[in-house]
Structure 1
Amino acid sequence: MFAVGIAVGIDTIRIREKAGATDILGGGFAKCSILTDATSCWTDVGAPCRGLPAFSHFVIGAQTVRAISLFGRHDLTGAIHSPATWRACAARPDCGFGGISASGTGGRAATWRLQHQRNSDDRNGEDSMIKPHFALGAAPADERLPREFAPQTFWLSGCSRQPVGEEILHSHSSFYMVCGSSKTAIIDTGSSRDWVDIQRQLREALNGRTLDYIIPSHPEMPHMGNLEPLLELFPKAKVLGDIRNYHLYFPDMDDRFEMRHPGDILDLGNRKIEFIEAIIHDLPNSLWVYDHKEQVLFSCDAYCYTHEHEPGQCAMLAEELPDEPTVADTSFVTSRALAWTQVVDSEPFCKALDELLEARPIKFIAPTHGGVITDVRRMTTLFQEGMRQIRER
């Protein structure tokens, strides 16, 4: 039996079975999980993980670690965020974690990572170093970031390397800063893997100002993985968004979280940004953001794409790349990040994207897993076709 499961709540699992394959926990299939929300987990086994190391995990939140027991004991790779999560992992050897320790400085602001684990496939029995983001490691920091792609609108990012056959592709973990005359905000936080360079990028983009608002689009590692160190680095910053369950991660900081809904407006002084419904998303508490002044759509997990492993490309706009993104570049990321695209009719989502472009003037699209897009219509067409092809495979 081959299964793809979505668990909403630790005690609730919805399983879709496909005939003709082996058990979910065995049979040599590549296994890949992203455990995100403290009270939910998402697991996807098999085809979407082709080319990835066996069983990779992102782990956020102590209760999520407890949910790992749903999958039994396995060798895991990934990144752990927050001391509470680390303590929960350390207390649960049945989850398959080896020795766990913390790296970095700053107490709670430290990025907590798995450093060593026993690799069951290593016949020599040697410990292997864990690298977050599908265990493939970060690309070298691009010194051209942050990049001001519109007035007082900055692109910040880190990239991961993803081998596909003999080729190496890059996938962004981008986030963005919007500066008004009186307040500043970032949309998403970047991945904890990139925290060292992210601090440099933040300093340069802020240029002496402080950060007032942090807007994680949803509770997943590339989108809120640096939330804890950011809250310590900017002690007066508020977290805005659909923040259900965030208090489970940060019970001592509940007063710094404020709920927002689609249609809510955030005034930054001489510009306003709006929280809007996320048309494409992997968690129910996802929100997109629209900047009315510069006409930027911050699209979270939509409009994602890969690019080649070449110097300087990590800081190029989509249309500046020597080879502009293709349908294959978009579907590669989407099929792995959003497993539901393999089984759900994409046409309602494609129609909703068209309606959004008709309803709002959009000059730029700023995705998390990609660089800034300026040819909005072309990329929309590519992304829509990519979603259709995922379902047809």
Structure 2
Amino acid sequence: MSAIELGGGVSWVHECFAETDGHIHVSVYLVDAPEGAILIDAGSFHHRQRLSDRIRDATAGRGIGAIILSHSDYPHSGNIPSFRADWGDFEIVASCGDPELQGLPYARRTRIGDVADVLGRRFAVLDPPLADRNHTTWVYDESSRTLFVADGFGTLHAPGACDIDWGRIPKDGRAEGVHEFHAQTLPWLRYADPDRVMGALHTILERHPPAWIAPIHGPPIAEADVDRYMQDLGNALARIAEHHRR
């Protein structure tokens, strides 16, 4: 499967692996900027060769000119050394103000609230309500109105649904896939107030309305499907919290 175009110069590149009760994506996204190709996250080293081949194909062999990291654990940054060996000393935009603490002393620091110009394209740097590390950031591409998110907004899916966006996943498995992903991946949600989490998410979507939500661990969610996803997510968070209270 080659890169899948979402529009506005953004393409989805992904692999999947088996997880309890379904498959889970490890996605990266290519953004076509005036001064080169930007990669959102670097992916897991387990998928290094396949991701590299697809990126090379999608960029006509030119590779990438920058990476923007959501955070620096291995499923998100594991391929940086090999990609730098393949495509040179490209810019790395870190997900925090102290990249040296992430083992990336050569990366450009970012801070919540910044608007970062990367290869001639503007990204708003956002504080994520759904994350598994405290140094995580989300970014919003102003040109395409794409909201890149980690680690929330994922969905476990059946093996045959690896290459389709969220709205085309069979309805009978969608809501449960949203619940199972968040229950397995973000254990702190059992202690969280679902209404406060959903309120923070709605605020971000109101301030940065997405044509696409682009999760690292799920299929992209089109604008027409965002309300349905948010309803499933709200129900999932309520179930997770209620299960813990029992």
Q: Same fold (TM over 0.5)?
A: yes
**Structure with larger RCO (C-alpha < 8 A, sep 6+):** 2
What is the aligned partner in structure 2 of residue 31 from structure 1?
A: none
Structure 2 distance, partners of 1:348, 1:183, is 39
Match of 1:198 among 51, 63, 82: 51
Structure 1 distance, partners of 2:133, 2:118, is 27
What is the aligned partner in structure 2 of residue 75 from structure 1?
A: none
Q: Is the 8 A contact 1:318 1:325 kept in 2?
A: no
Q: Is the 8 A contact 1:242 1:259 kept in 2?
A: yes
Match of 1:296 among 125, 135, 146: 146
What is the aligned partner in structure 2 of residue 285 from structure 1?
A: 135
Percent identical pairs in the alignment equals: 24
Spell out structure 1 runs of 4+ moving beyond 3 A.
Answer: 243-250, 268-271, 322-325
Structure 2 distance, partners of 1:297, 1:191, is 21
Q: Secondary structure at the match of 1:380?
A: helix
Q: Is the 8 A contact 1:154 1:178 kept in 2?
A: yes
CA change 1:316–1:369 in 2 (3 A) is: same
What is the aligned partner in structure 2 of residue 223 from structure 1?
A: 76
Q: Which is greater in Rg? A: 1
1:1-393 equivalences under 5 Å are 143=1, 145-164=2-21, 169-243=22-96, 246-247=99-100, 250=103, 254=105, 256-268=106-118, 271-310=121-160, 313-323=161-171, 326-374=174-222, 375-393=225-243
Q: Which runs of 5+ in 2 are unaligned?
A: none
- How far has the Cα of 1:271 moved from its partner? 3.7
Structure 2 distance, partners of 1:249, 1:265, is 21
Residues 17-71 of structure 1: CA deviation (Å, up to 9, x unaligned): xxxxxxxxxxxxxxxxxxxxxxxxxxxxxxxxxxxxxxxxxxxxxxxxxxxxxxx
- How far has the Cα of 1:321 moved from its partner? 2.5
Structure 2 distance, partners of 1:338, 1:174, is 18
Structure 2 distance, partners of 1:271, 1:235, is 20
Q: Secondary structure at the match of 1:186?
A: strand
Structure 1 distance, partners of 2:42, 2:99, is 14
Structure 1 distance, partners of 2:112, 2:233, is 23
CA change 1:234–1:264 in 2 (3 A) is: farther
- How far has the Cα of 1:163 moved from its partner? 4.4
- How far has the Cα of 1:297 moved from its partner? 0.6
Structure 1 distance, partners of 2:188, 2:41, is 22
- How far has the Cα of 1:231 moved from its partner? 2.5
Q: Secondary structure at the match of 2:13?
A: strand
Q: Is the 8 A contact 2:52 2:83 kept in 1?
A: no
Q: Is the 8 A contact 2:194 2:237 kept in 1?
A: yes
Normalization by structure 1: what TM-score?
Answer: 0.58
Q: Is the 8 A contact 1:363 1:376 kept in 2?
A: no
Structure 1 distance, partners of 2:229, 2:134, is 25
- How far has the Cα of 1:326 moved from its partner? 2.8
Q: Is the 8 A contact 2:115 2:123 kept in 1?
A: yes
Q: Which runs of 5+ in 1 are unaligned?
A: 1-142
CA change 1:179–1:372 in 2 (3 A) is: same
More helix by share: 2
Q: Give the alignment's Cα RMSD to 1 decimal.
A: 2.0
Structure 1 distance, partners of 2:130, 2:233, is 11
CA change 1:272–1:245 in 2 (3 A) is: closer
Q: Is the 8 A contact 2:4 2:12 kept in 1?
A: yes
Structure 1 distance, partners of 2:213, 2:122, is 17
Q: Secondary structure at the match of 1:340?
A: helix
Give, as a single letter, the amino acid of the residue that structure 2 aligns with 1:362: P
Structure 2 distance, partners of 1:221, 1:278, is 19
Normalization by structure 2: what TM-score?
Answer: 0.90
Q: Is the 8 A contact 1:151 1:294 kept in 2?
A: yes
